[in-house]
Structure 1
Amino acid sequence: MPGDHDLLSPLTLSSRDGVKRERADAARNRQILLEAAGRILRDKGIDALSMDAVAAEAGVGIGTVYRRFGDLQGLAYALIDDQEREFQAAFISGPPPLGPGAPPQERLCAFLRRYVDRLTEQAELMATAENGDARYRSGAYNLQRQHLAMLITQIDPERDGGYLADALLAVLSARLYLHQRAGLEMTVERLNAGLDQLVRGVIG
């Protein structure tokens, strides 16, 4: 059976519109804006993040920020892009159990646990990026879905891999994670244990 690297290749990662080649000066300007947004998040938190705030922090006009990112969701996607790149590289061609070489059920559980790790670090930012149906239109979501569907089909070809992949990703919603952690006071350990139970129920 071919490895993941024969079937999948990294996408845009989190960008909704795909990666566009940038001139060197445009790339530098984009980095300046992302660094400004990062300082706002570090110093003031997610509630202070806005297009106006980024423009003021970077010392540019608001139009520059909108032209670069489109809206706040686009900015949020750009801010989580590096982590998404690392995550994709890990499950496509990294070491097992997340990457190729481990049995598919172990890889499936490793994927879910690593996703929880990502939520622990960036749930508020990911929730901003996921507003509305943006999550499902992103290249990152579709690659994740394709990967999980492949693993589920490897475990049992009779399963509906696409549907079950959507079902598993649904419980990894950043907004649900924030509710579970803050509203329901669930621990990360409980979330991971619940995901393991869910996989056993789905796969058998």
Structure 2
Amino acid sequence: MSAPENRNGLPVLSVAESGPSERAAERGDAARNRVLLLDAARRLVDERGADSVTTDDIANAAGVGKGTLFRRFGSRAGLMIVLLDEDEKAQQHALLFGPPPLGPGAPPLERLLAYGRHRLKFVDTHHALLSDVGRDPQMRFNAPMTLHHSHVRLLLDEAETTGDLDAQAAALLALLDADYVHHQRTDLGRSLESIADAWETVARKLCGT
């Protein structure tokens, strides 16, 4: 039997079908499921790396059905992009407002070196998504990505580095490119620590130390 219609010909939902409390509960469940899925995805990515985590893994770890994941995010990629965006915002907040040496309050060179090591861990963890972003010019040079360039350039300037600061900032960030770091790790067998040490050497030379 079809739902009754109002005088405009539109279906009318009875209170039993969808009352305010039920709609609120549904919204609450959706919000909780979103948090559960993001927390589970973040935990699994931290443990295994993004490439090794499937939708089944995430749904099982979150304690929800896989259909819930697709309803909330559309796809695995959709969930991972939201996860990347949230983590990018958290890192940007740490750069701008967090404790030193990553945040304000430390000398510029110390902040620059802390940034390099922190960002290196980030791109290693999020390689798959950052690699996709890097292939899209509109995403590669969007506001979140250009913020990193501006931050590094500012620290170079505050460290009284001479020369073309834009070029130097771009060079430092190229060494933190997701595909470059992945190549160093996977093809050359280098550790994150050795890559970070090499990055620090370049940063120090640019700052004249």
| TM-score for the superposition, normalised by structure 2 | 0.64
1:109 matched residue in structure 2: 113
8 Å CA contact 2:51, 2:128 repeated in 1: no
Cα distance in 2 between the residues matched to 1:113 and 1:60? 35
1:30-56 Cα offsets, whole Å, 9 max, x none, are 224335545765898644545577578
2:147 matched residue in structure 1: 143
Give 3-state SS (helix, strand or coil) of 1:184's partner. coil
Query: RMSD of the alignment, in Å?
Result: 3.5
The Cα of 1:82 is off from its aligned counterpart by 5.1
8 Å CA contact 1:152, 1:203 repeated in 2: yes
8 Å CA contact 1:37, 1:54 repeated in 2: yes
Residue ranges of structure 1 left out of the alignment (5+ in a row): 1-22
Cα distance in 1 between the residues matched to 2:142 and 2:75? 15
1:6 matched residue in structure 2: none
8 Å CA contact 1:73, 1:128 repeated in 2: no
CA distance 1:49–1:193, shift in 2 (3 Å): closer
What fraction of aligned residue pairs are identical, expressed as a percent? 36
2:165 matched residue in structure 1: 161
The Cα of 1:149 is off from its aligned counterpart by 1.6
8 Å CA contact 2:80, 2:129 repeated in 1: yes
The Cα of 1:85 is off from its aligned counterpart by 4.1
Cα distance in 2 between the residues matched to 1:43 and 1:147? 29
1:84-107 Cα offsets, whole Å, 9 max, x none, are 344323221223222222221221
8 Å CA contact 2:100, 2:106 repeated in 1: yes
Task: Work out which of the residue numbers 93, 113, 127 in structure 1 matches 2:97.
Answer: 93
Cα distance in 2 between the residues matched to 1:44 and 1:166? 30
Q: Which has the higher contact order (CA 8 A, sep 6+)?
A: 1
Cα distance in 2 between the residues matched to 1:39 and 1:153? 37
Cα distance in 2 between the residues matched to 1:31 and 1:135? 25
CA distance 1:128–1:163, shift in 2 (3 Å): same
1:45-82 Cα offsets, whole Å, 9 max, x none, are 644545577578742538x62x6445544422333455
Residue ranges of structure 2 left out of the alignment (5+ in a row): 1-26
| TM-score for the superposition, normalised by structure 1 | 0.65
Is 1:193 the counterpart of 2:197? The answer is yes
The Cα of 1:157 is off from its aligned counterpart by 7.0
Is 1:79 the counterpart of 2:83? The answer is yes
Cα distance in 1 between the residues matched to 2:115 and 2:49? 28
When the two structures are aligned, how many residues end up with a matched partner?
Answer: 176
1:128 matched residue in structure 2: 128
